[in-house]
Amino acid sequence: MGVAIRVIPCLDVDAGRVVKGVNFENLRDAGDPVELARRYGEAGADELTFLDVSASAAGRETTYEVVRKTAEQVFIPLTVGGGVRAVEDVDRLLREGADKVGVNTAAISRPDLISEIAERFGSQVLVLSLDARRCREGTETSSGYEVTTHGGRKGTGIDVIEWAERGQVLGAGEILLNSMDADGTTSGFDLAMIRDVRAVVSIPLIASGGAGTTGHFVEAVRAGADAVLAASVFHFGALRIDEVKKAMREAGLSVR
């Protein structure tokens, strides 16, 4: 039996509004994260992820409100990432109703943040988010992949595989591996990178970046992902969650 492969839509939220458009029929308000969350829940999403891209403190306050309203209406797990810098941010998000919190840049500049969060709230709340890419000329890491920050614009020279391994040791409960090279291409996940990370971590691995067809999701799972995350293919209606699950089921994978 065991757990089913999770399919997770991700919504970018800026000051309480969904940034990239979403193409659902009969939506009253395509920019309302709460309504979209509910629709995705009804459509069979196994979890939801909000990525807060707000630049201002006021924008972040609005996001907290969105998290609260979503948690009150949608009874599936909710992960919130983006701008989480301190234990207090995690505390606030969990209190508002998030089940898990994604940590990215702040953990790179201060890895101890991972263990602080895990000790206070348990590993299961902490998703270590890795924006990873193949090394550009002039940068070298032992695996050939490096961690980036600022939405993939800045390289750090940190080895993706080593960072994933270290994140697990420090107490991360899950890894979100986002390929910045594949992101937005709809030409498939970076399967080699998924395999390499899978080989070193025994916590759940979420693959993200590059999904374009239902077959891509199946490939990512076969490469070692426990869950698959996508944004635009779902939002723009290119794929529906039930189509992805049907393809997985036909491929012999366990889905809900």
Partner 1 sequence: MASPLICVLDYGFGNVRSAVRAVEEVGGTAVLTADQATAEGADGLIVPGVGAYAAVMEGLLAVYGDRIIEHRLAGGRAVLGVCVGLQVMFEKGIEHDIETTGLGQWPGTVEKLDAPVVPNMGWARVEAPEESRLFKGIEGERFYFVHSFAAKEFPLAPQATNRIAPPLVTWSEAGTDERPDRFVAAVENGPLSATQFHPEKSGDAGLRLLRNWLATL
Amino acid 101 reads V
Question: Is 59 or 77 the residue whose CB approaches partner 1 more closely?
Answer: 77
Residue 171 binds partner 1, judged by CB under 8 A: no
Q: Is 21 left (phi over 0), alpha (psi -120 to 50) or beta?
A: beta
* Eight-state DSSP code of residue 188: -
Question: Is 65 or 140 the residue whose CB approaches partner 1 more closely?
Answer: 65
Among 59, 144, 204, 215, binds partner 1 (CB under 8 A): 204
Residue 75 binds partner 1, judged by CB under 8 A: yes
Structure tokens at 37: 């969350």
Site residues (CB under 8 A) for partner 1, limited to 81-120: 94-97, 99
Residue 72 binds partner 1, judged by CB under 8 A: yes
228 and 217 Cβ atoms separated by less than 8 Å: yes
Binding footprint of partner 1, residue count (CB under 8 A): 34
Lookup result for tokens 């308000």: 29
Is residue 226 annotated as part of the catalytic site, yes or no?
Answer: no
Lookup result for tokens 């009804």: 42
Q: Residue 137 Cβ, how far from partner 1 at the closest point, in Å?
A: 36
Which stretch, 11-19, 55-63, 67-75, 143-151, contacts partner 1 (CB under 8 A)?
67-75
Is residue 159 annotated as part of the catalytic site, yes or no?
Answer: no
- Using CA atoms, how far residue 202 sits from 68, 167, 194, 198, 226, in Å, is 31, 11, 13, 7, 11
Which stretch, 71-79, 80-88, 153-161, 176-184, contacts partner 1 (CB under 8 A)?
71-79
Among 125, 197, 211, 244, binds partner 1 (CB under 8 A): 125
Residue 218 binds partner 1, judged by CB under 8 A: no
Question: Is 174 or 219 the residue whose CB approaches partner 1 more closely?
Answer: 174
Element (DSSP H or E) covering residue 48 = strand 48-52
User: Which residues neighbour 253 within 8 Å (Cβ) at sequence distance 6 or greater?
Assistant: 5, 218, 221
N-terminal to C-terminal alpha carbon distance within the chain? 12
Beta pairing, strands 48-52 & 154-159: unpaired
Q: Residue 140 Cβ, how far from partner 1 at the closest point, in Å?
A: 31
Sites of contact with partner 1 (CB under 8 A): 1-6, 41, 46, 68, 71-73, 75-77, 94-97, 99, 121-125, 173-174, 202-205, 226-227, 256
Active site residues: 12, 131
